[in-house]
């Protein structure tokens, strides 16, 4: 496999990220996918954490993307992160780039001292990173009614512990209403 470079988004990456998202979530009617609009809306918001918008680059091209952005657990106001969108260019899927870029962004969040990540997605995919049903941690959201796709991951601390987060409702900022 071509060597992959995993790094935070740089100012020149906007078009490459948009292309990966557009291709991976492409719609038959060619409308701009909600995931493209979500990233652009989050990028201009207080939920955006520049280091946690990460690309996988292979042979000088952006082939994968993963984003963590700010959410809070209410009523405690505990900061947490939402994972998504995650995307790999269709012609490069199944080669490990998705796993690489998700692991990289989760490692970066751990380094920053973040403690909790939530995601809405396929349990068959996110289980490999250690995600579990969020309801087991007492976490709800507008999507918890969907069941198993609503997942959470407690990140390890410096000492290797993964303390249970406070239970509550995860509050997503306005751009998430686009999805
Ligand atoms: C999902 C996605 C990011 C995975 O990236 P990738 O580079 O193709 O994945 P990897 O090569 O790291 O991993 C491949 C594994 O993921 C599994 N997988 C891929 N897409 C999956 C999905 N939607 N649901 C469940 N499992 C999935 C494959 O079956 C394969 O499993 P295996 O390791 O047991 O053989 C990519 O396929 C993609 O962009 N899909 C379209 C956009 C999307 O649906 N994103 C949200 C995902 S919930």
Q: List the one residue out of 12, 14, 35 whose CA is nearest residue 23.
A: 35
Question: Which atom in ligand 1 lies closest to the alpha carbon of residue 88?
Answer: 39
Ligand 1: distance of its center to the CA of 78 in Å?
A: 30
Predicted confidence (pLDDT) at residue 164 exceeds the cutoff of 90: no
pLDDT digits (tens, 9 = 90+) for 74-127: 999 999 999 999 999 999 999 999 999 999 999 999 999 999 999 999 999 999
Ligand 1: distance of its center to the CA of 76 in Å?
A: 34
For ligand 1, atom 26, name the residue with the nearest CA: 125
Ligand 1: distance of its center to the CA of 125 in Å?
A: 6
Ligand 1: distance of its center to the CA of 138 in Å?
A: 27
Predicted confidence (pLDDT) at residue 14 exceeds the cutoff of 80: yes
Ligand 1: distance of its center to the CA of 87 in Å?
A: 8
For ligand 1, atom 39, name the residue with the nearest CA: 87
Question: Which atom in ligand 1 lies closest to the alpha carbon of residue 119?
Answer: 48
Spatial separation of the C-alpha atoms in residues 127 and 16, rounded to whole Å: 28
User: What's the pTM value of the predicted model, to 2 decimals?
Assistant: 0.96
Host domain of residue 22: 4-178
pLDDT for residue 165: 86
Both tokens of 179, joined, read 């999805």
- What total number of domains does the chain contain? 1
Distance between the two ends of the chain, CA-based, in angstroms?
33
Q: List the one residue out of 159, 99, 90 whose CA is nearest residue 125.
A: 99
C-beta separation of 45 from 53 below 8 A: no
Q: Which of 33, 39, 93 to mutate to test the pocket of ligand 1 (most atoms within 8 A of CB)?
A: 93
pLDDT for residue 160: 73
Spatial separation of the C-alpha atoms in residues 91 and 81, rounded to whole Å: 29
Spatial separation of the C-alpha atoms in residues 71 and 92, rounded to whole Å: 30
Q: Which of 94, 119, 122, 126 to mutate to test the pocket of ligand 1 (most atoms within 8 A of CB)?
A: 94
> Given the structure tokens 């995993």, which residue do they identify?
6
- Confidence at 1, pLDDT banded by 50, 70, 90: low
What is the CATH number for 87? 3.40.630.30
The set of protein residues with a Cβ atom below 6 angstroms from ligand 1 is 24-25, 86-88, 93-99, 121-122, 124-125
């Amino acid at each position: 496999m071509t060597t992959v470079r995993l790094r935070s988004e740089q100012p020149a990456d906007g078009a490459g990220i948009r292309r990966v998202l557009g291709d991976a979530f492409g719609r038959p009617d060619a409308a701009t996918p909600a995931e493209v609009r979500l990233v652009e809306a989050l990028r201009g918001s207080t939920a955006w954490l520049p280091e946690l918008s990460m690309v996988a680059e292979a042979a000088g091209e952006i082939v994968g993307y993963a984003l963590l952005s700010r959410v809070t657990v209410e009523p405690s106001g505990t900061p947490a992160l939402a994972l998504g969108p995650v995307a790999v260019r269709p012609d490069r899927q199944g080669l490990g780039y998705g796993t690489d870029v998700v692991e990289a962004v989760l490692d970066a969040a751990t380094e920053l001292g973040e403690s909790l990540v939530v995601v809405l997605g396929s349990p068959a995919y996110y289980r490999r990173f250690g995600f579990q049903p969020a309801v087991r941690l007492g976490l709800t959201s507008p999507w918890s009614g969907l069941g198993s796709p609503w997942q959470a991951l407690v990140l390890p601390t410096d000492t290797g512990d993964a303390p249970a987060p406070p239970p509550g409702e995860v509050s997503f900022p306005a751009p998430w209403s686009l999805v």
